[in-house]
Chains A and B, each alone.
Chain A
Amino acid sequence: MTGWRTHSGKAVALPVEGIDTDQLIPARFMSRPRSAGYGDYLLHDMRRDAEGRPDPDFPLNRPEAEGASIIVARRNFGGGSSREAAVYALKDAGVRVIAAPSFGDIFAGNAINNGLLPAQLATEDAEALIATLTEKGPQEARVDLDAGTLALGALRCSFALSDAEREKLANGWDDIDLTRRHHEAIAAHRAALAAARPWLWPAKARE
Chain B
Amino acid sequence: MSAPQTLFARLWDAHVVTSQGDEDLLWVDRHFVHEGSHHGFAKLAERGLPVAEPELTIGVADHYVPTRHRERPIGDPDIARMVRTLEENAEAHGFRLFGLNDPRQGIVHVAGPEAGLTLPGCLVVCGDSHTSTHGAFGALGFGIGATEVAHVLATQTVWQKRPRAMRLTIEGPLGPGVGAKDMALAWIAKLGADGARGHAVEYAGSAVRDLSMAGRMTLCNLSIEGGARMGMVAPDETTFAWLEGRAFAPEGAAWDAAMAWWRTLRSDEDAVFDREVTLDAAEIAPVVTWGTSPEDALPITATVPDPTREPDPARAAKIRAALDYMGLVPGRPLEGTPIDRVFIGSCTNARLEDLRAAAAILKGRRARVPGMISPGSSAVKARAEQEGLDAIFREAGLDWVDSGCSMCVGMNGDLVPPGERCASTTNRNFRGRQGPGARTHLMSPMMAAAAAVAGALTDARPLLKGRAVA
Contact = CB atoms under 8 A, between A and B. Distances in A.
Interface stretch (B253-261, B374-382, B459-467): B253-261
Contacts of A50: 418, 436-437
The listed residue with most B CB atoms (<10 A of its CB), out of A20, A82, A186, is A82
A34 interface: yes
A58 to B, nearest CB: 13
B430 A80 contact: yes
Interface residues of A, number: 64
A110 B148 CA distance: 8
B194 A74 contact: no
Interface in A73-110: 74-76, 79-85, 87, 102-106, 109-110
Contacts of A206: 247-248, 251
A67 interface: no
A23 B36 contact: no
A204 B147 CA distance: 30
Interface in B291-321: 292-293, 314-315, 317-318, 321
B92 to A, nearest CB: 18
A164 B21 contact: yes
Contacts of B203: none
Contacts of B411: 27-28, 30-31
A192 B114 CA distance: 28
Interface in B396-451: 409-411, 418, 428, 430-433, 436-437
B249 interface: yes
Given A74-B314, A189-B17, A182 B430 contact: no
Contacts of A199: 250, 254-255, 257-258
B436 A27 contact: no
A153 interface: no
A33 B258 CA distance: 42
Contact of B143 (A26, A76, A82, A113): A82
B55 A176 contact: no
Contacts of B255: 199
Interface string A11-22: 000011110101
A207 B428 contact: no
28 contacts: A17-B317, A18-B318, A22-B428, A31-B79, A34-B39, A45-B432, A46-B431, A81-B143, A82-B127, A102-B194, A105-B198, A113-B148, A114-B147, A164-B20, A164-B159, A164-B161, A179-B154, A186-B157, A189-B17, A190-B156, A197-B258, A197-B261, A199-B255, A202-B56, A202-B248, A205-B247, A205-B250, A207-B248
Interface of A: 15-18, 20, 22-23, 26-28, 30-34, 45-46, 50, 74-76, 79-85, 87, 102-106, 109-110, 113-114, 127, 162-164, 167, 175-176, 179-180, 182, 185-186, 189-190, 193, 197-207
